[in-house]
Amino acid sequence: MFDSDLPLSRTVTDRAADLRGDEDLLPALLDDASTRVLLVSGGRVVTRARGRRRSLALFSPQEAALRAPSSSLAERWAFLGYDDADRVPGRAPAEGRPEGPAYLAHHVPEGETAALAAGDAWTSLREVGTDLSARDAGLATAAVALYEWHVRHPRCPRCGEATLPVQSGWVRRCPADGSDHYPRTDPAVIMAVVDEADRLLLANSSAWPEHRFSTLAGFVEPGESVEHAIRREVREESSVVVGDVEYRGSQPWPFPASLMLGFRARALSTEIQVDGDELRAARWFDRDALRAEVSAGTVVLPPGTSIARALIEDWFGGPLPTGPQGDGWTRATTPERATPEPAPAPAPAAPRPSEPAASTPAKPTPGARAGTAAPAPAADPAPTRRSGRRAAAGPVDAPREEPGPPGTR
């Protein structure tokens, strides 16, 4: 198992969910100079250089408000928790909390300005996730996930009324019908498929450059088990039949709302026939061939932040060499996200603690210095769930915006 080592799975924060319902919590923490605040916009957070690595830039509430002015307490701030005393998730009823700062996220709408000091920069969580400490990674992942949910779900899925944040930023409430709506998480499977000769199946998505390869991935559909989803996705995309599956670990992927469930899957057949829709090509690799092609740059693998990379190196037996193009995938080769139309009021739906995904907001040009606009995540494909047999490409380490082609999570 490698789940605790995955970059965005690491956390040492007590989320203190029992405190979220206190309406005085956010005002009190904003008046407390010891409170630490991180700035988040889209898939990026403000980080600070520390030697050759970066860490979260944490501000006092007063400094955060000055650097990114806000006129709305409820819409811009979310409570993330405290440092965890024993580093065991959750808090037992009789357990106390250590003295220490509370952590808040300050949401900076994309397109608005944030005055950053020299050395501070907006950084994509996808890129910096492996460099952050466990505390910083956990805080940043939670903040990005909340931000993406608030932006995409501003209205009630039952009646279309604009909702209001409550529960310290963790719930949106409809003032018209009183229903509460919670952050959504979409389960997605991502799998290292291995045959009897211990070769690994990697695929190239139709939306990627021809040298880019990763594992297969896909969303779990309603009424479906993860095991069924694994076997279905692999066969639909590559024609390979999968038998036994072994769970390896999971990682949140908040771009915008996926939970990647990683597996090793045993292939019962080896003949490949790609669907020609989601996949352009798929190949079996032994270890020597994969090492040679990565070293030569003819195969470029997912970045270190992704669970896809962890699954590949778990099979390989250790880190793979860095190719001439470096680790990860250049963003210049991924299609830009489309600018959405204004979202109409959604059609009535059964009350659920999560709403259907809305359109992806447009992303402004990143900026990292004083007076620059808060940037959005780099242009990864904006995946969508399947319509019939067609689906858009998914972001690095994720299924289509939901799971998509070769898992890039």
| 179, pLDDT greater than 70 | yes
| Residue 164 or residue 360, greater confidence | 164
- DSSP code for 181: E
Q: Does the pLDDT value for residue 387 go beyond 80?
A: no
Q: Does a structural domain hold residue 45?
A: yes
Does residue 130 sit in the same domain as residue 164?
yes
Handedness of CA 242, 247, 251, 257 (dihedral sign): positive
- Distance between CA atoms of residues 67 and 59, nearest Å: 9
Q: Which two tokens stand for residue 45?
A: 């957070």
* Range 304-317 average pLDDT: 96
> Does residue 18 sit in the same domain as residue 139?
yes
Boundary residue ending a domain (147, 181, 215): 181
Identify whether 352 is part of a domain: no
**Which of 8, 2, 5 has the alpha carbon at shortest distance from 315?**
2
Count CA atoms closer than 13 A to 21's CA, side-chain side. Answer: 2
Residue 158 sits in the same domain as residue 26: yes
Residues 197 and 306 in one domain: yes
Domain match, 22 and 170 both: yes
Least confident piece of the model among 154-158, 232-236, 382-386: 382-386
The boundaries of the domain holding residue 240 are 186-331
Q: What is the CATH number of the domain that holds 273?
A: 3.90.79.10
DSSP code string of 319-342: PPPP-TT-SS--GGGSPPPPPPPP
State mean pLDDT over 24-35. Answer: 96
Same domain, 32 and 106: yes
> What residue type is assigned to position 403 of the chain?
P
Which residue is it, tokens 């944030």? 114
pLDDT for the residue 72: 64
pLDDT of residue 96: 81
Other Cβ atoms less than 10 A from the Cβ of 379: the count is: 15
Residue 166 has pLDDT above 50, yes or no: yes
Higher pLDDT among residues 160 and 346, named by residue: 160
Residue with tokens 């026939």: 273
Q: How far from 271 is each of 219, 230, 239, 280, 283, CA to CA, in Å?
A: 24, 17, 7, 15, 10
Specify whether the CB–CB gap between 108 and 373 falls below 8 A.
no
pLDDT at 83 over 50: yes
Same-domain check for residues 109 and 253: no
- Point out which residues pair with 250 in neighbouring strands: 261
Is 169 in the same domain as 133? yes
**Residue bearing tokens 């352009």:** 280
Interval 265-280 mean pLDDT: 95
User: Is 385 within 8 Å of 336 (Cβ atoms)?
Assistant: no
β-strand partners of 274: none
Q: Structural domain tally of the chain?
A: 2
Q: Which residues are bridge partners to 188 per DSSP?
A: 219, 260
> In the predicted model, what is the mean pLDDT of the chain?
82
The size of the chain, in residues, is: 409
Q: Can you give the pLDDT at residue 346?
A: 40
409: in domain: no
Residue 343 resides in a domain: no
Predicted confidence (pLDDT) per residue in 188-229, tens digit = 999 999 999 999 999 999 999 999 999 999 999 999 999 999
Beta bridge partners of 54: 49
Structure token digits, residue 19:
């405190």
Please give the average per-residue pLDDT across 263-276, as a whole number.
96
The tokens describing 357, both together, are: 């995904």
The tens digit of pLDDT for each residue in 321-344 reads: 888 877 655 443 332 333 333 333
Calculate mean pLDDT across residues 129-139.
Answer: 95
The pLDDT > 70 percentage for the chain reads: 78
Q: CA dist 177 to 112, 159, 263, 296, Å? A: 32, 8, 41, 60
Given a cut of 70, is residue 53 above it in pLDDT?
yes
Residue 149 lies in a domain: yes
- 205 shares a domain with 169: no
| pLDDT-derived band at 71, boundaries 50, 70, 90 | low
CA angle centred on 329, ends 111 and 323, rounded to 5°: 150
pLDDT band at 3 (very low <50, low <70, confident <90, very high): low
Residue 389 lies in a domain: no
Q: Is there a contact between 251 and 261 (Cβ–Cβ < 8 Å)?
A: no
Helices (H), 18-103: 25-30, 61-67, 73-76
Give the pLDDT band of residue 392 (cuts 50, 70, 90).
very low
Within 13 Å and on the Cβ side, how many CA atoms surround 361?
A: 21
End-of-domain residue from the set 181, 214, 240: 181
pLDDT greater than 80 at residue 51: yes
CATH code for position 133: 3.90.79
What pTM, to 2 d.p., does this model score? Answer: 0.81
- 191 dihedral zone (left: phi>0; alpha: psi -120 to 50; beta): beta
d(CA 57, CA 38): 6
Region 261-267 average pLDDT: 98
Q: Is the pLDDT of residue 111 over 80?
A: no
Same domain, 225 and 320: yes
Residue bearing tokens 């606009």: 373
Q: Give the distance between the most distant pair of CA atoms in the chain.
A: 64
Residue 345 lies in a domain: no
In a domain, 356, yes or no: no
pLDDT band (50, 70, 90) for residue 249: very high
* pLDDT at res. 337: 31
User: Does the pLDDT of residue 73 top 80, yes or no?
Assistant: no
Identify the three-state secondary structure at position 87: coil
CA geometry: angle 89, 41, 35, nearest 5 deg: 50
